[in-house]
Amino acid sequence: MRLFSLLLLLLSPLAILVIHASASSFTPNTFFAYNQTVKMVLPNGTIATINEVILQRIIEVFPNDSIAINETIYDVNQHYYLPPSILINNATFPQDLYYIPPSLLGKNVTRGDGELYFINYSNGLYEYESKTTIQGVVIEFFMWVNSSGIAIKVQTLQIGANLQLVSNATAILWKTNYFNPSVPLPIFSGYTEANVVTVHLNNGYYYYLPEKMFKYILVVGILAIILILLFRKQ
């Protein structure tokens, strides 16, 4: 018995190291590219459509179990991109990726300042939902996540005070090298950095938007701002 206890004691640090090493499967240059279509209903009833690519790329993994993510949004129609953001996240559960650790799949989880509720499992995907009301506007956020924890589809709906659909943003995983390292990083040749304006919200947040999109703030608000408020760690 003493020998068995001693063996367990000696193996414990090794076990901890193995668990810690396998806690994060992200490595430098891992990327996720999502095709996102944003449809916004304007006051005159017309629909404005924005087609964009959200590119999230891990640029560094730190010894303290954190990672640096470069996130860049490319407007496919106008051929511009927003200034890249560098985001520092916990490597085990990076809040700025569309990701849920496999060990937490099927459970309710906290993502940033919001709670994601597990609502269904179908066709190998875990479906999560979050619903929040901000100044009379209902925000419904959905993620469909595979068994590896990677979201295959993400959808955000804004519903106005009169229960009308204000905007619908749907992102579909387009490319990633997470499963196959040989998958090449998408290249956006000919894209230029957008001229941006600074939007100051009442709660102290700042956000930068292309000038052509600024008019939509006055009409329906910007979907990305609300997502940041709900789900990004401060």
| 128-179 tens-digit pLDDT | 999 988 778 888 999 999 999 999 999 999 998 788 888 999 999 999 999 9
First to last CA, the chain: 50
Give phi and psi for 8, each to the nearest 5: -65, -40
Give phi and psi for 216, each to the nearest 5: -70, -20
State both tokens at 158: 């804004």
Contacts of 127 (CB under 8 A, 6+ apart): 118, 119, 120, 121, 142, 143, 144, 145
Q: What is the DSSP letter of 179?
A: S
Q: Are 52 and 75 in contact (CB under 8 A)?
A: yes
Residue extents of the structural domains in the chain: 25-231
Cα(93)–Cα(165) distance, rounded to whole angstroms?
Answer: 32
pLDDT at 212 over 70: no
Cα(96)–Cα(160) distance, rounded to whole angstroms?
Answer: 26
Of 30 and 19, more confident: 30
Residue 198's pLDDT is what? 53
Structure confidence at residue 111 as a pLDDT band (50, 70, 90): confident
What does the pLDDT look like over 63-95, one tens digit per residue? 999 999 999 999 998 899 988 999 999 999 999
Average pLDDT, whole number, for the chain?
A: 79
Which pairs from 20-27 meet CB under 8 Å and 24+ separation? 20/65, 23/65, 23/91, 23/92, 24/61, 24/65, 24/67, 24/91, 24/92, 25/178, 26/58, 26/61, 26/67, 26/91, 26/94, 27/58, 27/61
Q: CA 57: distance to chain centroid?
A: 12
pTM: 0.77
Q: Are 225 and 208 in contact (CB under 8 A)?
A: no
